[in-house]
Chain A
Amino acid sequence: MVNLTIDDKQVTAPKTATIYEAAKMNGVNIPILCHDKKLKPFGACRMCLVEVEQMKGRQIPACTTPVTEGMIIRTATPDIVKARKMVLELLLLNHPLDCPVCDKAGDCDLQNLTYEYKVDSNRFSDEKFHHEIDYNNPLIERDMNRCVLCGKCARICDEIVSYGALTFIDRGIETKIGCEFDEALNCEFCGSCISVCPVGSLLARPFKFKARFWSLTKEKSVCGYCGTGCGLTLGVKDNKILTTIYDENQGFHKGQLCVRGRFGYQFINSTKRLMKPLIKKNGVLTESTWDEALGLVAGRLKDAGSVAALATPRLTNEEFVLFKKLLDENVGTKNYDHAAGYAHSALTEGFVRSFGTSASSASILDIQKSDLLLVIKTDTYETHPVVGFEINMAVKNKGVKLNILSDKRGKLSKLPDAVTLVHRPGSEVALLNSIAKTILDEKLSNDAVASVPGFAELVSALSAFSAEAVADQCGLTAAAIKKLASDYASAEKTLIIFPTGQAYTGHNADLASAVANLAILTGKYGKEGCGVLCLSEKNNSQGAVDMGFYAQNGGLNGMQVLDACTNGTVKTLFIAGENPLTTYPNRSKVKAALDSVEFLVVSELFLSETAAMADVVLPVCSFAEKEGTFTSADRRVQYFKPAIRKNVQIKTDYEVFSDLIARLGGNAPASGSAVFKEISEGVPGYQGMSHVALKKDSAFASVVITPAFVIPQATSAIPVEQGKLALVIGSALYHNGTLSQYGEGPMHVCPEGYIEMSHSDASANKIANNDLVTVSSATGSLQLKAKISTRIPAGVVFAPYHFSDSPVNTIWSGSPVTFVTLAKR
């Protein structure tokens, strides 16, 4: 700490602080335009000029100058105020004063400073700029006439997003922020640039002319898409969500959002939302009343022996508990699951075997504290973009090493010094086992490891996995595998990250145990910056696991439930929010199951293709219309309250389940907080939590690790089918599950399914970008648009799985690798 004087006040500040930071810590506000606490100091705008007695007569920028012992700083002398006024006059010289039609008005740093410094006249005059406004994309408007060249957009796009869409182009008075060759903006549309723009140069187009900023109510919530658990501030007016608002202090991610979080909110107020219960009468879904619909459902649920349920991992923890209670106690069935049963197996089987707990042994906060990250699949960026930002920052700002094992390259591969081992699709587990084998052979394992249960068996089982033995199977060299093993073992703090989800069938219990073996062998778990982080797909996937809403004690799992529907043992299927017809493997099998089941109930926001097949459809609420808690992938439990009032005609899933419990003669808990009390008493790690406490701040559910080695099964190379391409499916950056199809933003930039392929496979099949291609596998064929990219290795094709209009499960039956042929239409 150093001692200094700011505006005649004796204060202290850390040695590393800048004058700006020291002042802020001590309650003195220095005006800024180009500075952002998340970005490196830049010193462009000169608004933060201060006087330091030791540097006589000079005005120095507070945002770039570090404090020193004994500094005497004055932040608001008449000279300083004069200088700041002049800076504003010069900025306003070119900045158009079109505040009445500017969406930024009311939230504009330049406007606020102009007001604060009473700049009501300008001694200079000059022409305004006449740059063309970029309206070429539907999400981000770029009006460079309003730009003050603070560079925050370009810097956030580089330092945090690592996309680099924007930069300073041209020189002198002509300088502006632009893209390559001054083209239209075409990026991943996370909107980070909008969030930091101090003026109205970068604006969210979906919000244009919707409302004045000051008429919005800011409602804190939690994002309802992926498992990262980002906080969200929703801008609400007249009970409608009109935009998302940036709050730099919100959450671990400091308000950073991805395209889904920022632009995907429209599904909440969508006109396509279901508003009335529907009952199938004479083969047609007809509007009905809640009483009739729930009465019908309750009647069917009484036949305990033939009931099964599938739930989406987007329900709240309270709803999962209630649904489970309904099924366990009032219906009397054990046949319930979420995420098709396999997407959570990494946690519920893999981690349970290896760590004795169904949760990750590390948190997202460990990413920036680690020394080396081992990421399984570059898709991690696409599935969890804000975790991707954390990885970007760790690598770019903290010098954390990044090693990637993946079946394709990706955005993460482009990070400085990132090492990407592109292996054959489906060979992940063999590869991880050979890394473990190398660690053992080279004596890089932790000394205490021999006492971990299963060590001796592991040593003998791994003998089949020498780097030389699996190198061919993985399409890598033994040397590359060995190098990776020694890098992993020799770094002091290492963290393994892998995504799971319905598209990633290969990221199963075996993969989870294989990575866990690595962490346990080297003792890299249970301490800061170390461990294994499983990024589960949806916003409450981890909560669904924690609440125990999955097949246990002989209950049928997700895929088995569908089989039982087909063979008639399950006669009533309750689907809460899942859309198996699009997201579960093997569409014809799913369709047959849903066709065969006698009675299908679907509670949904929208009339999804699954809901369209139902006998009863129950209209339910989105996260923004209910209260509850979500548990993020790293087990951060967050409370959220309704951001808007729900339509009186619809119910929350919570209300549906409690109504059904009552109809079946049971007693539903009085409230969500009462349910949460049960959770805090019964669920390991949730002790001491309550809605009241979580309203103030989120909390991590603690994880207790009991390590054990899991003996790897022998793996064999997936036989390559001659003349065919290996299809891997996964997530597109802009989407999460099928919900994002109703978020307008994601659909603007990624409206349909596609098949991504290498240049060589494209030219071998005479396919050009955007050609319609028929993709055929053993189970069917599907037409998809071709997308040619450099990131896909030859022999591999990739397709995202989110789209109802081009359902990939017609050609995918759940295997991690599907062999397909391509034919240009």
Chain B
Amino acid sequence: MSDVVAQQAEETEPEVDLSIADAIIDKYIDIPGNLMPVLQAAQDEYGYIPRAVADHIAERLNVYPSQIYGVLTFYAQFHLKPRGKFIIRVCVGTACHVQGAPRIVETFFDKLHIGHAETTADLRFTFEKVACLGACGMAPLAMVNDSTYGGMTVQKVDDIVADYSQRPLK
């Protein structure tokens, strides 16, 4: 597991273009209670909230950097590390669990060399276990971004990884 952690993308946070953040802030600057929408819009643009963006938002909105971090860590919707282009979510809720979700999860771990809530070094995949996706009839269930894959098998994991590995990153 330690190798995998070492491969994590977090160590090489790329230079971020703050002009994108500036454009977002300019739009919301005069609106009271603007911190949440600014952070949400920034995450939409950057895919996550880079440190430099958090600090820049703090400076421009005149909010303490600590408070921004408080907000970012309170809400599960915010991410502080770069995320993959393809977010693989595997349901581990009750129905999926009894239908073999743990094996599906393990197979993804083996194939991608990453663990839960981690991202591949090439920023292609992020893997997440989720509690319930609300489609228990299709158990065991996986999702890649907005596409749903029901009745998952170990073979299907191979197919999904192979399929998305060929898709362009840009």
Contacts and interface: CB of A to CB of B under 8 A. Distances in A.
6 contacts: A158-B64, A164-B64, A170-B74, A178-B66, A179-B66, A180-B68
Contact of A171 (B54, B58, B74): B74
Nearest to A158: B64
Nearest to A154: B66
Q: Describe B's contact surface by its main secondary structure.
A: helix
Contacts of B67: 164, 167
Interface string A413-433: 010100000000000000000
Contacts of A169: 66, 69-70, 73-74
A459 B64 CA distance: 46
Contacts of A182: 69
A109 to B, nearest CB: 24
B51 interface: yes
Contacts of A168: 70, 74
Given A167-B66, A180-B54, 12 more contacts: A158-B64, A164-B65, A165-B64, A171-B74, A178-B69, A179-B69, A180-B66, A181-B51, A181-B54, A181-B80, A182-B69, A414-B62
Interface string A135-176: 000000000000000000000001000011111111100000
Interface residues of A, number: 18
Contacts of B80: 181
B73 to A, nearest CB: 5
Contacts of A416: 62
B158 interface: no
A181 B65 CA distance: 9
A673 B81 CA distance: 67
Contacts of B58: 180
Q: Specify which of B65, B73, B80 lies most central, judged by the most chain A CB atoms within 10 Å of its CB.
A: B73
A702 interface: no
Interface string A654-671: 000000000000000000
Interface residues of B, number: 16
A164 B73 contact: no
A552 to B, nearest CB: 48
Nearest to B74: A171
Contacts of B54: 180-181
A795 B51 CA distance: 29
A168 B64 CA distance: 12
Contact of A166 (B55, B59, B66): B66
Contacts of B65: 164, 180-181
Nearest to A168: B70
A790 interface: yes
Contact of B66 (A164, A171, A414): A164
Contact of A170 (B64, B66, B68, B73): B73
A266 to B, nearest CB: 29
A416 B65 CA distance: 16
A164 B71 CA distance: 14
Contacts of A170: 73-74
Interface string A172-212: 00000011111000000000000000000000000000000
Contacts of A167: 64, 66-67, 69-70
B59 A171 contact: no
Contacts of B69: 167, 169, 178-182
Q: Specify which of B51, B54, B66, B74 lies most central, judged by the most chain A CB atoms within 10 Å of its CB.
A: B66
Nearest to A162: B64
Contacts of A414: 62
A168 B51 CA distance: 18
Contacts of A178: 66, 69
B151 to A, nearest CB: 34
Contacts of B55: 180
B80 to A, nearest CB: 8
Interface in B18-60: 51, 54-55, 58-59
B68 to A, nearest CB: 7
A164 to B, nearest CB: 3
Contacts of A790: 59
Interface in A312-346: none
Contacts of A179: 66, 69
Nearest to A164: B64
